[in-house]
């Protein structure tokens, strides 16, 4: 194994870490997901910002339980049938049917088809109605794939070691989200546990709005990582390598990681490379490391790994012609990037942060302007090309859905110190006089 590859295993930005794995909030998040999976038939709804460790969480929990995830990635063009079709295919539908091609299997509605196709057992109504007596397995496959439903997954998941996982649920169209949750009743009624993952906090509201899901949802909300948990990642990795990092360095990396463990991992990895440490050292490395090295590494990570997220939105946001609702959007987005970084804010908190930190030459947005912007948030973000904010009208909270944008914003240019509030406003708001 190459020495540099060992660093990637110690400080990975994807997958489940081994050396630097930290149980977030003393394991409370893990425990909650385990509780949901223990109660068969629960819909485990994992929500949180992008790159906050949602996938790492369920992968680790499922692995420890001896379960295998069947992940289905969602996008804006998918229908409910597309989701069930992909799930069936990933549950080795092709393998189980192709092994019996040409064989005649008799079946009655709701009856068993064969031991090899046992996961279609129990399908009723429209789902099984398309399967006729004497159909070959290929014909059965065509009928099911032509109009798949959640019912076809009951026996595929119910008695197997597989768990259906819907990734990126927030990308589905709202109407499709609602249909999917309505069709989830079949899985719940048959005690099939499933996991839904998304960044949008609306998913929880949509699920709770379906009365048949009442009491059957286990909500696992992964909030931003706190600095103590992020520091623990740094401590575990540096100790394993035999490198002493002082308290100021650990605190700076944790505070500037925008609550994201992936950023902490990559910054630590790059810092070790800068130190020339690519594997555990025989003698503890206990030399003074200048804080400017950390600033240089933060800039390197922001300008390489996170460079793409900023240009997608930044060019439009700082455009002087971006006025009216756009200007209000800029100000609210700015409030999240102020010190200390925030990841969810009530409207009074937004106003307070802006009032305390806003340069004198710019006035806070009026309440009516804020309401108008939030009511048209989808349209505004379509124009930008990326959704950075999420408004939960029931909780009256604004969320930052891409915290890495805050990191990229703060470290897009070389610095000799962390970004100040004035730096943030100067970058995101541009020339105030041109936007007024």
For residue 66 the two structure tokens come to 């001896």
Sign of the C-alpha dihedral computed for residues 419, 424, 427 and 433 taken in this order: negative
300 and 315: one domain? Answer: no
In a domain, 17, yes or no: no
Longest dimension (CA), the chain: 80
Domain end point (choices 223, 248, 282): 223
pLDDT above 60: residue 403: yes
- Cα 204 from Cα 226, distance rounded (Å): 23
Domain that holds residue 367: 309-435
- Cα 328 from Cα 132, distance rounded (Å): 60
pLDDT above 80: residue 436: no
In a domain, 33, yes or no: no
In a domain, 21, yes or no: no
Do residues 191 and 96 lie in contact, with contact meaning Cβ atoms separated by under 8 Å?
Answer: no
Domain end point (choices 223, 247, 271): 223
pLDDT above 70: residue 235: yes
In a domain, 182, yes or no: yes
Do residues 397 and 388 lie in contact, with contact meaning Cβ atoms separated by under 8 Å?
Answer: no
Between residues 400 and 319, which one has the greater pLDDT?
A: 400
Do residues 380 and 373 lie in contact, with contact meaning Cβ atoms separated by under 8 Å?
Answer: yes
* pLDDT for res 378: 85
pLDDT above 90: residue 155: no
Phi, psi of 188 (to 5 degrees): -65, -45
Do residues 150 and 184 lie in contact, with contact meaning Cβ atoms separated by under 8 Å?
Answer: yes
71 and 127: one domain? Answer: yes
Which of 229, 41, 223 is closest to 150 using CA atoms?
41
Taking the C-alpha atoms of 366, 371, 373 and 378 in order, what is their torsion angle to the nearest 10 degrees?
170
Over residues 208-214, the mean pLDDT reads 72
Over residues 37-63, the mean pLDDT reads 90
Between residues 165 and 283, which one has the greater pLDDT?
A: 165
Task: Please give the tally of structural domains in the chain.
Answer: 3
206 and 104: one domain? Answer: yes
pLDDT above 80: residue 1: no
- Cα 121 from Cα 118, distance rounded (Å): 5
pLDDT digits (tens, 9 = 90+) for 197-207: 988 766 666 66
* pLDDT for res 45: 92
Between residues 97 and 61, which one has the greater pLDDT?
A: 61
67 and 192: one domain? Answer: yes
Between residues 79 and 359, which one has the greater pLDDT?
A: 79
In a domain, 27, yes or no: no
179 and 283: one domain? Answer: no
pLDDT above 50: residue 255: yes
Distances (CA, A) of 224 to 105, 342, 419: 53, 9, 20
273 and 321: one domain? Answer: no
pLDDT above 70: residue 359: no
Confidence label for 143 from pLDDT (cuts 50, 70 and 90): low
For residue 436 the two structure tokens come to 């007024």
Cβ-proximal residues to 382 (8 Å cutoff; 6+ apart), any chain: none
Distances (CA, A) of 250 to 179, 271, 292: 46, 12, 13
In a domain, 137, yes or no: yes
399 and 412: one domain? Answer: yes
347 and 264: one domain? Answer: no
In a domain, 51, yes or no: yes
With b for 16 or more beta-carbon neighbours within 10 A and e for fewer, the 133-145 pattern comes to eebebeebbebbb
Between residues 155 and 6, which one has the greater pLDDT?
A: 6
pLDDT above 80: residue 159: no
Cβ-proximal residues to 276 (8 Å cutoff; 6+ apart), any chain: none
- Mean pLDDT, the chain, rounded, equals 79
Which of 150, 124, 159 is closest to 43 using CA atoms?
150
Confidence label for 345 from pLDDT (cuts 50, 70 and 90): very high
In a domain, 407, yes or no: yes
91 and 111: one domain? Answer: yes
* pLDDT for res 177: 87
Over residues 287-305, the mean pLDDT reads 93
Residue 179, domain CATH: 3.40.50.300
For residue 319 the two structure tokens come to 């455009």
- Cα 111 from Cα 206, distance rounded (Å): 34
Do residues 174 and 146 lie in contact, with contact meaning Cβ atoms separated by under 8 Å?
Answer: no
Cβ-proximal residues to 138 (8 Å cutoff; 6+ apart), any chain: 97, 101, 102
43 and 159: one domain? Answer: yes
300 and 351: one domain? Answer: no
279 and 219: one domain? Answer: no
Between residues 365 and 235, which one has the greater pLDDT?
A: 235
pTM exceeds 0.85, yes or no:
no
Confidence label for 92 from pLDDT (cuts 50, 70 and 90): low
pLDDT above 80: residue 399: yes
* pLDDT for res 415: 86
Confidence label for 241 from pLDDT (cuts 50, 70 and 90): very high
- Cα 373 from Cα 388, distance rounded (Å): 14
Domain end point (choices 304, 337, 359): 304
């Amino acid at each position: 194994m190459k020495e540099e590859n060992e660093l990637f295993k110690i400080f990975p930005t994807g997958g489940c870490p081994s050396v630097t794995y930290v149980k977030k909030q003393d394991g409370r998040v893990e425990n909650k997901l385990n509780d949901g999976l223990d109660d068969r038939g629960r819909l485990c709804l994992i929500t949180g910002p992008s790159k906050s460790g949602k996938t790492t969480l369920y992968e680790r929990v499922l692995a420890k339980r001896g379960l295998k995830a069947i992940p289905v990635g969602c996008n804006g063009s998918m229908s409910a049938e597309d989701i069930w079709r992909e799930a069936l295919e990933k549950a080795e539908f092709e393998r189980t049917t192709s092994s019996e091609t040409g064989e005649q299997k008799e079946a009655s509605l709701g009856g068993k088809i064969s031991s090899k196709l046992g996961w279609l057992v129990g399908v009723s109504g429209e789902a099984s109605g398309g399967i006729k007596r004497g159909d070959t397995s290929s014909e059965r496959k065509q009928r099911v794939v032509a109009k798949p439903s959640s019912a076809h997954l009951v026996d595929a998941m119910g008695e197997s070691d597989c768990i259906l996982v819907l990734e990126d649920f927030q990308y589905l169209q709202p109407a499709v989200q609602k249909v999917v949750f309505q069709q989830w009743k079949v899985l719940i009624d048959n005690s099939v546990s499933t996991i839904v993952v998304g960044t949008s906090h609306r998913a929880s509201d949509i699920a709770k709005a379906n009365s048949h899901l009442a009491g059957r949802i286990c909500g696992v909300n992964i909030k931003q990582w706190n600095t103590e948990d992020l520091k623990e990642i740094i401590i575990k990795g540096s100790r394993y390598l035999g490198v002493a990092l002082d308290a100021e360095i650990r605190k700076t990396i944790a505070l500037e990681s925008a609550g994201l463990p992936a950023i902490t991992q990559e910054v630590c990895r790059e810092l070790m490379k800068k130190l020339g440490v690519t594997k555990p050292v025989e003698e503890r490395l206990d030399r003074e490391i200048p804080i400017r090295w950390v600033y240089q590494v933060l800039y390197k990570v922001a300008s390489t790994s996170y460079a793409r997220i900023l240009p997608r939105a930044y060019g439009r946001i700082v455009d002087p012609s971006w006025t009216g609702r756009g200007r209000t959007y800029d100000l609210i987005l700015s409030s999240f990037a102020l010190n200390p970084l925030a990841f969810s804010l009530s409207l009074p908190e937004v106003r307070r942060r802006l009032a305390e930190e806003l340069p004198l030459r710019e006035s806070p947005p009026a309440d009516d302007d804020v309401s108008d912007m939030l009511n048209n948030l989808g349209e505004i973000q379509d124009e930008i090309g990326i959704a950075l904010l999420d408004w939960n009208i029931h909780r009256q909270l604004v969320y930052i859905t891409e915290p890495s944008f805050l990191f990229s914003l703060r470290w897009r240019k070389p610095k000799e110190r962390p970004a100040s509030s004035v730096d943030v406003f100067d970058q995101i708001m541009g020339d105030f006089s041109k936007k007024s």
